[in-house]
Amino acid sequence: MKAARALVSAEEDRRSMAAEIRAGLTASPKWLPCHLLYDARGSELFEAITELPEYYLTRTELALLEQHSAEIAKRAGAPRSVVELGAGTGSKTRTILEAVIAEHGLSDVTSAESRELDGPVYYPIDVSRTALEVAERALARPGLEIRPLVGQYGDWLPLLKDLPGPRLLLFIGSSIGNYQPHEAESLLSLVRRGMSKEDSFLLGADLRKDEPRLLAAYDDAAGVTAEFSKNVLHRINREFNADFDLDGFRHLALWNPDASRMELYLESLRDQVATIRALPLRVSFRTGDRIHTENSYKLTLADQRRLLAAAGLTITASFVSPDPSYALHLARVT
């Protein structure tokens, strides 16, 4: 494959990861940024999560996309650039890309003189280079050029305006749920600042629902989510020469109704000390001490609409699945 483009070197990446681990594990309460969950193994485990019977999000969103991608591609005006934030392995994007390519085919027939036969370019953005390699292989098809961009959204979003328009920006898979409301609003504002009048933004996000359903989705019977959570310790062991005992922690998923979010933790099962030699840092835990590893916000439809509006985005169409509830919003710059 073509080398994915990256703005930040592996060395800088490692330095910022070291700083994050130090900051999080010396804080009280302890925490780790959730993007650390997604190394190659973490991305693989998340992929397995999306296939669990309890994890309704991915298949519900996929059904919505399958139902509405033709309309979305049409409303987006046969975009020439499709930019996806947090593309992962791209498995959720196939239908929308096919619909965009089909829209291009249609416009070729109707605009006889402009003979614009070159298809759309897909720019998947992700922190995981390996996930992007999988995406590139899985989505390769005639009429589609793929240019993977490795890095955080903030690295690439300011460069959006350089890409040929109209652009369709995708932020699907409910990844926005990882952000606290004020962070989500600044991220969406960053997206909006990169957009022109003719561009569209598609947001896919889970909705607030009954607690048992949420608890099951984030603590599955087969234990895949637990393995996914613990993988972050495994990663720190491997990459920073640490000695976390994975059997000394358990995965814990809690619903926080006031913050309207699922909270994921690793809870220490005993008093213990872990040493992270490459930092270097020693971290002690009492029984029951937790590391907060992830939040997954579940907003109501009204709150999702308010969030988009606050970021300067106007919804042009919403597609909502009733049960389990899930929403896709198509929006333009206000």
Number of residues this chain uses to bind ligand AVJ (CB under 6 A): 12
Nearer to ligand AVJ among residue 47 and residue 108 (C-beta): 47
CA 109 to each of CA 104, 116, 222: distance values in angstroms, whole numbers, following the listed order: 9, 10, 51
Q: Which of 89, 95, 174, 325 binds ligand AVJ (CB under 6 A)?
A: 174
Site string for ligand AVJ, 9-28 (x = CB under 6 A): --------------------
187 binds ligand AVJ (CB under 6 A): no
Q: Which of 93, 175, 200, 268 binds ligand AVJ (CB under 6 A)?
A: 175
Q: Which of 119, 173, 194, 204 binds ligand AVJ (CB under 6 A)?
A: 173
Judged by CB under 6 A, the chain residues 32 through 61 that form the site for ligand AVJ are 49, 57
How far apart are alpha carbons 40 and 265 in whole angstroms?
21
User: Shortest gap between Cβ of 55 and ligand AVJ (angstroms)?
Assistant: 7
DSSP string spanning 102-169? HHHHHHHHH-TTT------EEEEEES-HHHHHHHHHHH--TT-EE--EES-HHHHGGGGGGSPSSEEE
296 binds ligand AVJ (CB under 6 A): yes
How far apart are alpha carbons 299 and 184 in whole angstroms?
12
Q: Which of 42, 294, 304, 332 binds ligand AVJ (CB under 6 A)?
A: 294
The angle, 0 to 180 degrees and rounded to 10, between the axes of the packed helices 40-49 and 129-139 is 50
Q: Which of 93, 128, 225, 231 binds ligand AVJ (CB under 6 A)?
A: 225
Q: Which of 56, 153, 218, 285 binds ligand AVJ (CB under 6 A)?
A: 218
Q: Point out the residue whose Cβ comes nearest to ligand AVJ.
A: 296
Contact present, 299 and 208 (Cβ < 8 Å): yes
Tokens 């002690």 belong to residue: 284
Contact present, 18 and 240 (Cβ < 8 Å): yes
Q: Which two tokens stand for residue 187?
A: 């991220």
Nearer to ligand AVJ among residue 22 and residue 35 (C-beta): 35
Q: Which of 60, 93, 178, 304 binds ligand AVJ (CB under 6 A)?
A: 178
Nearer to ligand AVJ among residue 108 and residue 303 (C-beta): 303
User: Shortest gap between Cβ of 72 and ligand AVJ (angstroms)?
Assistant: 20
325 binds ligand AVJ (CB under 6 A): no
Nearer to ligand AVJ among residue 95 and residue 225 (C-beta): 225
SS3 of 48, please?
helix
Residue 43's H or E segment, with its range, is helix 40-49
Long-range interactions of 35-38: CB distance < 8 A, separation 24+: 35/127, 35/152, 36/232, 36/235, 36/236, 37/228, 37/229, 37/231, 37/232, 37/293, 37/294, 38/88, 38/127, 38/128, 38/131
Task: State the residues that interact with ligand AVJ by CB under 6 A.
Answer: 49, 57, 173-175, 177-178, 218, 225, 228, 294, 296
